Structure 1
Amino acid sequence: MSNSAAPEFVLADFLPYQLSVASNAVSNRIADVYRKEFGLKVTEWRVMAMLGDAGALTQRELTARTLMDKVAVNRACKVLAERELVRRQPNYRDGRSHLLELTEAGQDMHARIVPRARAIEEELLDALGEEQAGAFRSMLEEIRQKAG
């Protein structure tokens, strides 16, 4: 039974749905490169990208910064360690955790992936033009901040 006083709900117009679909489309476009050429899953690349950007982090810090599920981060870290792309180091600030950092092989792979990912990003943003792309980034950040 529908309530005629309730506003119409169209999933395709719902912001979380639009963001999710757009995010998945962009991620999948870039993921094709690192899956086919480097054998990485999305979660593994996100961990590598964060470590490449921030340096050594704990799994808890990786989970917080990537907003990924801790089980997904744990699996990604395990796979990357098995492939010797990351290494675990003692965390002298907190003996209960380890710091993860890219190995030399991980740094090399990261350095090869980043230009490819940036080229795809540039290709996608070219559709907006420089001014709109900057405004788009600002709007995304405002929405992310507002969402918490």
Structure 2
Amino acid sequence: MSQDLSEFLPYRLFQAAEVTGRDFQKIYQGRYGMLRTEWRVLFHLGRSGDQTAKQICQRAMLHKTKVSRAVKALEAKRLLTRKTVEGDRRSEILSLTKQGQAALKDLTGIGAEYDQGLIDALGEEKYQALLAALEILNRKA
């Protein structure tokens, strides 16, 4: 490893995620007043269907406090509902409302366009190489 920490791969990956994430954040924040964690909760509910906050924490690699705050905010925006699990009053099943599903559909379309812009900037060959590299790194997690 170089002495220059700006060349440290985890730092570079973090920086790339921050820059690209911040650009997309402007979209979901502007349209729906969502913070990043709220977007991630919405995304995981849309991707995997109804689930508990604990399941979202595991899938999204988020702390339970952040997920709890996001769930409350999304519920206040009427984008999700909570239903207590029978036999376990501490656990709730989270579900997207019709408004939540519509917001997710809207953001999914915009996200696909945003994603295509990134792919175009990289070019197909570099994009495929990046996907392969990320796949290897994600197996380490």
For residue 117 of structure 1, report the CA deviation from its aligned partner: 1.2
Tell me the residue number matched to 1:127. 121
Query: Equivalent pairs: percent with the same residue?
Result: 33
SS in 2 for 1:53: helix
- AA in 1 matched with 2:110: R
Provide the secondary structure at the position in 2 that maps to 1:68.
coil
Moved more, 83-92 or 36-45: 83-92
Name the counterpart of 1:40. 34
1:76 corresponds, among 61, 67, 70, to 70
So what's the TM-score if we normalise by structure 1? 0.88
Retained in 1: the 8 A contact 2:24–2:111? Answer: yes
State the 1:91 CA deviation.
Answer: 2.6
Partner residue of 1:4? none
Amino acid at match of 1:44: E
Unaligned runs of 5+ in 2: none
1:89 has 2:107 as partner: no
Structure 1, unmatched stretches of 5+, are 1-6
Distance in structure 2 (CA, Å) of the matches to 1:135 and 1:53? 25
Partner of 2:59: 65
Larger Rg: 1
Aligned residues: 141
Matched, 1:52 2:46: yes
RMSD: 1.6
The residue aligned with 2:23 is 29
Question: What do the CA deviations read for 1:116-142 (whole angstroms, capped 9, x no partner)?
Answer: 111111101112222321221121121
The alignment status of 1:98 with 2:88, answered yes or no, reads no
Structure 1 residues 94, 126: CA separation in 2 closer, same or farther (over 3 Å shift)? farther
Give the AA of the match of 2:34: L
Q: Deviations over 1:60-92 (max 9, x none)?
A: 111111111211111000100111110012334
Question: Separation in 2 of the partners of 1:95 and 1:142?
Answer: 40
4+ runs deviating over 3 angstroms:
92-96
Paired amino acid for 1:25: V
- Separation of aligned partners in 2, 1:48 and 1:17: 27
**Residue in structure 2 matched with residue 3 of structure 1 by the alignment:** none
